[in-house]
Amino acid sequence: MRLFIAINLDDNFKSALTSMQDDLRSQHVGGNYSPIENLHITLAFIGEYPDPDDVMDALAGIDFEPFDITLDGFGNFGDLFWAGLAKTEVLSSLVKKSRHALADAGIPYDRKKFTPHITLLRKARYNKFPELKTRQTSMKVTSVSLMRSDFGKGGVRYTEVGYAKSTNKPALEIKK
């Protein structure tokens, strides 16, 4: 099965992203818009791999604390348009931890450099390159998901296979 590791987004965050998609539509940008249920941040793309349990075991070993992500900017890889995220060391560190866990378990993944983004549409068509403002929104990341990708009649469909929760360490107690 085709697998990848991702951060799934809450409804508020996704609604900011669909507003950005609406802005693009209103500027007459055509293409394959990501359906709301497919919006996510890919941390590592594994591709075809037979054993999701192996991957879940690897993910279970990751230790990270909850952190915030914030939408910031708009960009493109050719005809793929995306919404960006404010740079955070914690997000980069989570990507590193996830990828190290896969490497240690001997699970192959795409080693392309991580560019934090959320795909808004693919195969974009336009006469004039659009201008797009970021919607102000943030959310707390408390888990990382293992996702399965299937191609069907209605396009690509992503299903969560499992997830690893963040660790929530108690604050240091200062005794007087």
Would you tell me which residues interact with ligand 2AM (CB under 6 A)? 4, 42, 45, 110, 119, 149
At closest approach, how far in Å is the CB of 100 from ligand 2AM?
18
Nearest Cα to 13, choosing from 44, 40, 42?
40
At closest approach, how far in Å is the CB of 103 from ligand 2AM?
16
Residue 4 or residue 64: which is nearer to ligand 2AM going by CB?
A: 4
In angstroms, the first-to-last Cα distance of the chain is 56
* Beta bridge partners of residue 165, listed in sequence order: 143
Scan for tokens 């080693």, then name that residue. 111
Residue 138 or residue 149: which is nearer to ligand 2AM going by CB?
A: 149
Residue 67 or residue 114: which is nearer to ligand 2AM going by CB?
A: 114
At closest approach, how far in Å is the CB of 91 from ligand 2AM?
14
Residue 153 or residue 176: which is nearer to ligand 2AM going by CB?
A: 153
Asked if residues 87 and 54 have their Cβ atoms less than 8 Å apart, the reply is: no
At closest approach, how far in Å is the CB of 133 from ligand 2AM?
21
- Find the length of the chain: 176
CA distance 120 to 2: 21
